[in-house]
């Protein structure tokens, strides 16, 4: 699952699957493939931004649909979950299998990685057992050429008995041949005779005994040979879907029941149990894939992946993996800090120029001052600030992590620590997604199959700070521990200190995950398959542009739904007075005694509370309260902000408490709403709120006590 508006937006939380055709003649095409083969890249380049998403019915697995046209046909492309097999061991495999079987698609495009075709053919062969309208897309042909791998596409097509197209999904021009072959496939002008996997003679005899009865009942609806095999291996996940599709329980048909009993007796006579049958099916698939590749794939250089393996020895080693990971994270943060300043400033300038124009429009219309204050100085000003601060760091951070192939290596390194906490290694991936947006990390927890482990990942995701908290962390670190000159050395030191606080958040994630798994969420950790994709040079320009387009709507949706009401509330609190004192000052004064115990003051704590809708506004609210302004305001420079804070009694102890609370406090409103929608439970949502908050308060109190004792 990519971190896009389609995959992590609020609409992805609760919408159901519905194939939406633009015209009645649209052809439905399923896009299948293993993870990390370029399936999403192919889908995005074919459909552009003409996409929408939802959930598969009854599953927390996201689907994406998009549209594209050729001269001959218009298509609805359905990006089904990446999976290694259709033998249904996970929710992703179930929905992939069910859509291919029962989704009513006019064809299936199976995307394969040209650099490891043999492993990918396992899925191709399974798909061809279900459908005869299959087009094999051998992607990453450029990487295969770079590694001196030659693939005989024509020979592969002859062996498989279905059309085969070679592509470089990143380059749209390479997709023309694919679409031409897709036109031929749906028109039926290209005769297909899919390769049939041959199983052992005993299994083939069992299939022959039961298939005639099955075929008589399902002919024209489902592949009878494939269904017979699934009925023999007693796949329980298939039965419910099959009953709904056929409107009957096929196992209750006397002829079929009798034939299956005879076939199972035949298998039992030779000692073939259900487990042995499944093993032999897998073995036959592997052997067939190996046989096909032996004749069609040539490796001209034995050490074709030697470079990747050498890098993996460093990046995934038990001795060097963690230091390198922390170092690379610091580099990414430095690039994000230095690189995001310029687009953030440009975006802020544009949005606040628009504010001036809106103000003039309000004055020209003779609108009352209070209405201008509410809508422009309150709602719009907060929206502008959130978008300008949040968007560029998100784009840069995930461009560097997602497109390089390093993110799965981070998950591999962290798999063992998570296992020791009795959590799932996939939590490492969702935690990394949380660096960009905790709400995205929560939705990303859908990749974890175990409900127990999914809950642990959701509850602890907020312990890693999202990019909305980065500006606050960076500002405090720069002013009190680095300096405000803004040189290259200062920015590098800021990135290093920021990384240390990130490591604190990661350590707290491990600690709380362990505590949860030993108390309210006891259980045994599950295993998972993780493929390490090849290293790629990030297409920085292209990915940043797509990242901005994909995420802009998500950010704006979040801002409108959550930050806009917050802007209104902030303006009211800063402008409405009781006994000559603003509501904001009253609330800050009320919180001050408790905040002093934590090493802060009431204004700081109030800024965090008002920052519940969006962490990006904590510093602006802080400045507004200290300077008694009527709306949130920016600081002219770190130096002037530093002077302001020192004038309000800030010390190093205050700065440390501020940093701790910034890392460890309640999730933002969007994250809480997402947790509620994903868990359907107020109890778990409340726990996700209280855990980081209580731990943050406790740690702030202990640090403050230490400062007071030793100062």
Burial class (CB in 10 A: 0-12, 13-18, 19+), 71: exposed
What is the structure's pLDDT at 352? 77
What is the structure's pLDDT at 102? 82
What is the structure's pLDDT at 154? 92
Measured between alpha carbons, how far is 325 from 413 in angstroms, rounded to an integer?
Answer: 9
Average pLDDT of the segment spanning 168-173: 84
Beta bridge partners of 27: 75
Pick from 475, 472, 374, 545: which is nearest to 4 by CA? Answer: 545
What is the structure's pLDDT at 422? 83
Top-ranked range on mean pLDDT: pick from 199-213, 425-439, 458-472, 527-541: 199-213
Average pLDDT of the segment spanning 223-231: 89
Q: Could you report the per-residue pLDDT of 321-344, keeping only the tens digit for each?
A: 888 888 877 777 776 666 666 676
CA angle 424, 428, 432 (to 5 degrees): 150
* pLDDT score of 396 more than 70: no
Measured between alpha carbons, how far is 446 from 424 in angstroms, rounded to an integer?
Answer: 12
CA–CA distance from 684 to each of 128, 547, 663, 677 (Å)?
43, 31, 20, 11
- For residue 134, the SS3 value is strand
Residue bearing tokens 């962390």: 473
Grade residue 485 by pLDDT with cuts at 50, 70 and 90.
Answer: low
Least confident of 4-13, 189-198, 530-539, 594-603: 4-13
Measured between alpha carbons, how far is 585 from 596 in angstroms, rounded to an integer?
Answer: 16
- The overall longest dimension of the chain from CA atoms, in Å, is 92
Measured between alpha carbons, how far is 257 from 239 in angstroms, rounded to an integer?
Answer: 14
Q: Could you report the per-residue pLDDT of 621-642, keeping only the tens digit for each?
A: 888 888 888 777 766 677 888 8
* pLDDT score of 562 more than 60: yes
Measured between alpha carbons, how far is 21 from 588 in angstroms, rounded to an integer?
Answer: 55
| Phi and psi based region of residue 140 (left: phi greater than 0; alpha: psi -120 to 50; beta: remaining) | left
Give rounded-to-5 percent helix, strand, coil for the chain: 65, 5, 25
Angle between helices 381-402 and 564-575 (to 10 degrees): 140
Residues above pLDDT 90, as percent of the chain: 25
CA–CA distance from 280 to each of 199, 245, 542 (Å)?
8, 28, 45
Burial class (CB in 10 A: 0-12, 13-18, 19+), 628: exposed
What is the structure's pLDDT at 1? 34
Tokens in use for 699?
A: 């740690």
Q: Where are the alpha helices (DSSP H) in 233-320?
A: 236-246, 254-269, 274-296, 306-315
Number of Cβ within a 10 Å radius of residue 639: 14
Tell me if 30 sits within 8 A of 109, measured CB to CB. yes
- For residue 558, the SS3 value is helix
What is the structure's pLDDT at 96? 81
Measured between alpha carbons, how far is 576 from 574 in angstroms, rounded to an integer?
Answer: 6
Average pLDDT of the segment spanning 385-410: 65
Residue 693 or residue 446, greater confidence = 693
Measured between alpha carbons, how far is 624 from 542 in angstroms, rounded to an integer?
Answer: 38
| Phi and psi based region of residue 214 (left: phi greater than 0; alpha: psi -120 to 50; beta: remaining) | alpha
Average pLDDT of the segment spanning 596-614: 90
Tell me if 472 sits within 8 A of 390, measured CB to CB. no
Q: Could you report the per-residue pLDDT of 573-587, keeping only the tens digit for each?
A: 888 888 888 898 899
Residue 569 or residue 406, greater confidence = 569
Q: Could you report the per-residue pLDDT of 284-305, keeping only the tens digit for each?
A: 999 999 999 998 998 876 665 6
Burial class (CB in 10 A: 0-12, 13-18, 19+), 114: buried
What is the structure's pLDDT at 290? 93
Secondary element (H or E) of residue 164: strand 164-166
Tokens in use for 487?
A: 């040189």
Number of Cβ within a 10 Å radius of residue 199: 20
- DSSP labels for 614-675? -GGGHHHHHHHHHHT-SS----S-HHHHHHHHHHTT--HHHHHHHHHHHHSSPPPHHHHHHH
Pick from 364, 360, 464: which is nearest to 414 by CA? Answer: 464
* pLDDT score of 686 more than 50: yes
CA dihedral 612, 615, 616, 621 (to 10 degrees): 50
Q: What's 364-393 look like in SS3?
A: HCCCCHHHHHHHHHHHHHHHHHHHHHHHHH
Beta bridge partners of 134: 108
* pLDDT score of 57 more than 80: no
Tokens in use for 155?
A: 């020979």
Q: Could you report the per-residue pLDDT of 110-157, keeping only the tens digit for each?
A: 999 998 899 899 999 999 998 888 999 999 898 888 888 899 999 999
Average pLDDT, the chain: 81
Residue 399 or residue 643, greater confidence = 643
Measured between alpha carbons, how far is 603 from 587 in angstroms, rounded to an integer?
Answer: 8
Residue 60 or residue 130, greater confidence = 130
Sign for the pseudo-dihedral over CA of 391, 397, 399, 403? negative
Grade residue 685 by pLDDT with cuts at 50, 70 and 90.
Answer: very high
Q: What's the predicted TM-score (pTM) here?
A: 0.68
Residue bearing tokens 């994709």: 533
Which value, in Å, is the radius of gyration of the alpha carbons in the chain?
A: 29
Tell me if 29 sits within 8 A of 133, measured CB to CB. no
Average pLDDT of the segment spanning 551-578: 70
Strands 51-55 and 62-69: antiparallel
- Residue-level length of the chain: 711
Least confident of 161-165, 189-193, 261-265: 189-193
Q: Could you report the per-residue pLDDT of 661-680, keeping only the tens digit for each?
A: 999 999 988 889 889 988 88
């Amino acid at each position: 699952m990519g971190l896009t508006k389609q995959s992590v937006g609020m609409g992805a939380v609760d919408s159901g699957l519905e194939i939406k055709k633009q015209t009645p003649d649209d052809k439905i095409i399923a896009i299948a493939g293993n993870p990390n083969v370029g399936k999403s890249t192919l889908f995005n380049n074919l459909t552009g931004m003409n996409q929408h998403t939802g959930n598969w019915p009854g599953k927390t697995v996201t689907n994406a649909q998009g549209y594209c046209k050729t001269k001959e046909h218009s298509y609805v492309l359905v990006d089904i979950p990446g999976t290694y097999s259709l033998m249904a061991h996970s929710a992703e495999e179930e929905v992939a299998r069910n859509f291919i079987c029962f989704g009513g698609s006019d064809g299936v495009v199976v995307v394969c990685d040209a650099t490891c075709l043999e492993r990918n053919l396992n899925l191709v062969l399974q798909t061809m057992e279900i459908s005869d309208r299959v087009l094999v897309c051998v992607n990453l042909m450029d990487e295969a050429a770079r590694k001196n791998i030659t693939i005989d596409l024509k020979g592969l097509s002859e062996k498989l008995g279905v059309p085969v197209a070679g592509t470089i999904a990143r380059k749209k021009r390479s997709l023309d041949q694919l679409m031409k072959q897709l036109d031929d496939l749906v028109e039926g002008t290209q005769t297909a005779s899919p390769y049939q996997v041959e199983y052992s003679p005993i299994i083939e005899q069992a299939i022959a005994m039961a298939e005639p009865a099955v075929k008589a009942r399902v002919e024209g609806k489902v592949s009878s040979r494939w269904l017979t095999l699934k009925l023999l291996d007693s796949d329980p996940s298939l039965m419910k879907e099959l009953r709904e599709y056929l409107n009957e329980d096929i196992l209750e048909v006397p002829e079929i029941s009798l034939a299956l009993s005879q076939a199972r007796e035949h298998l039992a006579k030779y000692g073939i149990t259900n487990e042995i049958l499944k093993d032999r099916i897998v073995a036959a698939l592997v052997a067939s894939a190996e046989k096909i590749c032996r004749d069609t794939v040539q490796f001209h250089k034995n050490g074709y992946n030697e470079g990747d393996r050498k890098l993996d020895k460093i990046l995934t080693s038990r001795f060097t993996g963690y230091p390198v990971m922390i170092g690379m994270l610091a580099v990414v943060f430095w690039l994000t800090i230095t690189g995001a300043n310029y687009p953030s400033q440009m975006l802020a300038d544009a949005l606040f120029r628009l504010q001036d124009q809106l103000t003039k429009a309000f004055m020209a219309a003779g609108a009352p001052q209070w209405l201008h204050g509410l809508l422009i100085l309150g709602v719009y000003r907060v929206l502008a600030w959130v978008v300008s601060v949040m968007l560029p760091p998100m784009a840069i951070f995930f461009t560097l992590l997602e497109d390089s192939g390093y993110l799965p290596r981070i998950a591999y390194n962290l798999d063992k620590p998570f296992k020791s906490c009795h959590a799932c290694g996939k939590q490492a991936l969702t935690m990394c997604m949380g660096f960009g947006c905790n709400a995205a990390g929560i939705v990303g927890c859908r990749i974890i199959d175990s409900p127990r482990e999914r809950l642990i990942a959701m509850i602890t995701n907020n312990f890693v700070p999202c990019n909305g908290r980065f500006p606050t962390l960076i500002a405090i670190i720069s002013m009190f521990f680095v300096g405000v000159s803004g040189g290259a050395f200062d920015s590098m030191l800021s990135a290093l200190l920021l990384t240390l606080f990130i490591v604190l958040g990661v350590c707290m994630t491990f600690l709380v995950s362990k505590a949860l798994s030993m108390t309210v969420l006891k259980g045994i950790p599950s295993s998972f398959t993780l493929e390490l994709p090849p290293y790629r040079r990030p297409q920085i320009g292209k990915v940043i542009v797509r990242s901005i387009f994909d995420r802009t709507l998500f950010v704006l949706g979040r801002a409108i739904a959550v930050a806009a009401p917050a802007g209104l509330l902030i303006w009211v609190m800063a402008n409405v007075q009781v006994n000559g004192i603003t509501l904001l000052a009253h609330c800050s004064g009320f919180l001050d005694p408790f905040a002093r115990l934590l090493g802060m003051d009431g204004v700081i704590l109030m800024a965090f509370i008002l920052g519940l809708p969006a962490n990006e506004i904590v510093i602006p609210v802080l400045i507004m309260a200290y300077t008694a302004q009527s709306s949130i305001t920016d600081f002219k420079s770190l130096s002037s902000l530093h002077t302001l804070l020192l004038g309000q009694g800030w010390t190093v102890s205050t700065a440390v408490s501020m940093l701790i609370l910034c890392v460890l406090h309640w999730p933002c409103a969007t994250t809480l709403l997402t947790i509620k929608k994903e868990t359907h439970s107020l109890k778990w949502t409340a726990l996700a709120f209280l855990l980081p908050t209580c731990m943050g308060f406790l740690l702030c109190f202990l640090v403050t006590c230490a400062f007071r004792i030793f100062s």
